[in-house]
Homo-oligomer: A and B are copies of this chain.
């Protein structure tokens, strides 16, 4: 048994693959299965377990990937967004550096316990966090051509996969992750593998549409091959995805910095959008979660009350309330946390969002409305307490402790 972050895990007896499908709202799978695009999944739902779980809010990529590999909420691992206001330095910084990580990963612990571990991510932004302290293979599709034996535990990845390095804005970037996973399993048969895709397709295509079904069909064929190789597979998602548009089809945005500037004076408060990262073309840095740092002397309750009056906000909470409800590190969020509703996103100032790259009606995430994710195992789970609230970060627990 392995103890990581106050949870116990059995060591795998079969090769175990945990897949985090970025932005995989469960309805994607439902529509694809219903229309015959996922024959492997259809069979798996009958022969294994198809569960629904809650992801971490903010329903963004980094907090959830880190939750999955630590088996713990952000209050434990510390990664509560892609982007952070560092109060120590007074600057806004990316949270990609492992220095922000407050907990060991299960991947590192499994490697330390002598298991061979491989991690493949779509974008490089996650790679360093996921691979922190871990012996084994860890690379991104995005920079797969730069992978070296020293840094990544493997070299010449595109040749192994038999695919060129895809564009960071493409469905192929995720396909590369699955193709690499299948090749790794064929050639090296790691004991544990973690695959994490990108939501480029999900940001553009709604469940049941051609683009979404084609993505799911691609995924299904690779998962089927891993299944045939005897792998235990747990599939979950970092977050869901919803249309975020007004009646005119344009993004329905609450520009929160503009609102704060009008209420409290220009620049007095600082609005942070933790969705922000270097890849914002497909969502314009617009998500359904924001946090506000207030100037001294402003009572958070008053601002919370004013924002709660906006029916497009789903929840507006003080730091303490948000830290408790969403299990977030209180020292890394602002005085106020805002979560907008199913069809609404939060921006800073209208002038600071470049929406020119949006070539389809905005779909995004970050809120409570994107908290529902699939949690699918290709094995029955005898003895699982189905009345417990399942989380996406139970994926390794289910795969290691219940499925084998």
- Spell out A's residues near B (CB within 8 Å): 26-27, 29-35, 41-42, 45-46, 50, 52, 206-209, 243, 245-250, 309, 311, 343, 360-361, 372, 374, 376, 387, 389
Contacts and interface: CB of A to CB of B under 8 A. Distances in A.
A189 to B, nearest CB: 29
Contacts of A30: 243, 245-249, 361
Nearest to A42: B248
Contact of A247 (B52, B246, B343, B389): B52
A404 to B, nearest CB: 22
A182 B169 CA distance: 47
A376 B246 CA distance: 12
Contacts of A343: 26-27, 372
20 contacts: A27-B243, A27-B245, A29-B247, A30-B246, A31-B245, A33-B247, A33-B249, A34-B245, A42-B248, A46-B248, A50-B246, A50-B247, A52-B247, A206-B207, A207-B243, A208-B209, A208-B243, A247-B374, A247-B376, A343-B372
B361 A34 contact: yes
A207 B249 CA distance: 11
Nearest to A206: B208
Contacts of A46: 248
Given A27-B243, A50-B247, A206-B206, 14 more contacts: A26-B247, A26-B343, A27-B245, A29-B247, A31-B243, A34-B248, A35-B249, A45-B247, A46-B248, A50-B246, A206-B208, A207-B243, A208-B209, A309-B387
A245 B50 CA distance: 13
A62 B52 CA distance: 33
Contacts of A35: 249, 361
A110 to B, nearest CB: 28
A372 B26 CA distance: 22
A127 B343 CA distance: 34
A31 B247 contact: no
Contacts of A374: 247
A311 B389 contact: yes
A361 B208 contact: yes
A50 B246 CA distance: 9
Contacts of A243: 27, 30-31, 207-208
A3 to B, nearest CB: 29
Contacts of A245: 27, 30-31, 34
Contacts of A361: 30-31, 34-35, 208
A30 B206 CA distance: 13
A36 to B, nearest CB: 9
